[in-house]
Amino acid sequence: MRLPESFIKNYRQILGEEAEAFFTSLEEEPVSAFRTNPLKAAQQHFSHAIPHTPWGHYGKISGKSAEHVTGLVYSQEPAAQMVGQVAAPQKGMKVLDLAAAPGGKSTHLLAYLGNTGLLVSNEISAKRSKSLVENIERFGAQNVIVTNESVRKLAKTFKHYFDLIVLDAPCSGEGMFRKEPQAIRRWHRTLPAEYAKLQKQILSEAMPMLAYGGSLVYSTCTWSLEENEEIANWLLQQYDTLSIVNVPKINGMTGGVGLPETARMYPHHFKGEGQFIAKFKDQREKQVFPVRSGRSNLNREELALWQEFAAKHLKRPLEGLLQTFGSHLYLLPLGLPDLSGLKIARNGLHLGTFKKKRFEPSFALGLALAQHDVEQSVEIDIEQFKSYAAGNIIFLEGNYPNGWYQLCVKGNGLGFAKVVNNTVKNYFPKGLRFNA
């Protein structure tokens, strides 16, 4: 790996006698890892657990595996997993993931929330938000919306609203050098300072959204002082209601430069890539500000069709606000303000689509529900799963009355499908199909 001379000089100065071990670690292979999803009803045992984490494991998971496709696992390297773990929202909290794509932090936050409270997962890039929506849908959470907005625009809707804001900020990407060689090629001596300016702008626009008594988690995948400790000190100077919270040092984390409460992850100490994390707490007494919530916009026919489907196929009611967007029906988390002025990439949980005098359940609904939530389900084996994921129909043995069933593989949902004469019609989304 050919590192820029100014980068080498900088980290010789910061790390001193540890510098050579640090540079050597950048020549080693990146560390792969994944998290399991506690929202899924059917869990599996995985070896090589990451110490001191509730769901982390070292190793690789195939994107074509049943575990990945049903959302039981999410690939995320170990250092990146520490951001969600430090944030660790309590159930019922209102949480904002401010720069969310591709979804690692959001899905981790959703694991802690356990289908309670609310997560607003924001990604300003429309292109990147597509992968974010896909990953959140696969995870199966019911308490999340995905926005596609600027921070300034969000702040107009969510003033003093969030109990927790997580910003994994755009950065110079030094911590990704061995994982993404292009990060080295685009790095230059003034890049960290350029990103520091952007980071301050984002934080300045985001702070009005933090609730009194709320928490802020700031992180980067870089090691530069300008983007890390200097930003943390700037926050403390700019906002006198903020205090810094100690981040527990686990698995080889080290304290920040001059700010021991913060955490740094270097690959010669921590088994993973590079990361910096700082956590802050607002000291003002918690206040509840009134929220003007949206209202359901279903007409009588739509409501009757949904209620008919739910009564026949679901064993429990789904809590939330029913809204249609075109012919699509969504379930939004309760307690949201009016979102009509925002660009929305995913309006809560997609329940399905209204078609001529009927309701057709969505793939997302079948991913989000457990087998014990539905009246009818069909368990398929791995070979049938591979065939179905490739776009084929499945022939069932036995006697299955015609109708909608939740498909399951290894106990977890793979969407809804219609069974006709013991044949499972294919409802696996065309854009997700693959040959295993």
Which of the four pLDDT bands, split at 50, 70 and 90, describes residue 154? very high
Looking at residues 103-120, what average pLDDT do you find? 97
427: how many CB neighbours lie within 10 A of its CB?
Answer: 18
Predicted confidence (pLDDT) per residue in 211-252, tens digit: 999 999 999 999 999 999 999 999 999 999 999 999 999 999
Q: Does the predicted model carry a pTM greater than 0.85?
A: yes
Q: What is the dihedral of CA 123, 129, 133, 134, to 10 degrees?
A: -140
Q: Name residue 168's amino acid.
A: D
Whether the CB-CB separation of 22 and 11 falls below 8 Å is answered with yes
- Look at domain 5-282 and name its CATH class: alpha beta
% the chain with pLDDT above 90:
94
Q: Mean pLDDT for the chain?
A: 96
* Residue 340 pLDDT: 86
* Residue 328 pLDDT: 97
Whether the CB-CB separation of 63 and 34 falls below 8 Å is answered with no
Looking at residues 7-14, what average pLDDT do you find? 96
User: Out of 221, 342, 378, 380, which one is annotated catalytic?
Assistant: 221
For the annotated binding site for S-adenosyl-L-methionine, the residues are 99-105, 123, 168
Which of the four pLDDT bands, split at 50, 70 and 90, describes residue 106? very high
Lowest mean pLDDT among 269-283, 292-306, 352-366: 292-306
Q: Name residue 195's amino acid.
A: Y
Gap between the Cα atoms of 321 and 232, Å rounded: 38
The answer, yes or no, to whether residue 174 has pLDDT greater than 80, is yes
The answer, yes or no, to whether residue 56 has pLDDT greater than 90, is yes
Q: What is the arrangement of strands in the sheet containing 321-325, beginning at the earlier edge strand? A: 321-325, 328-332, 349-355, 358-361
Nearest to 405 by CA among 396, 39, 42: 396
CA dist 35 → 76, 267, 408 (Å): 7, 20, 21
Looking at residues 193-216, what average pLDDT do you find? 98
Instruction: Indicate the length of the chain as a whole number.
Output: 436
For the annotated binding site, the residues are 99-105, 123, 168
Distance linking the first and last C-alpha atoms of the chain = 34
53 in helix, strand or coil?
Answer: coil
The answer, yes or no, to whether residue 291 has pLDDT greater than 80, is no
408 is catalytic: no
Looking at residues 283-289, what average pLDDT do you find? 86
Predicted confidence (pLDDT) per residue in 77-105, tens digit: 999 999 999 999 999 999 999 999 999 99
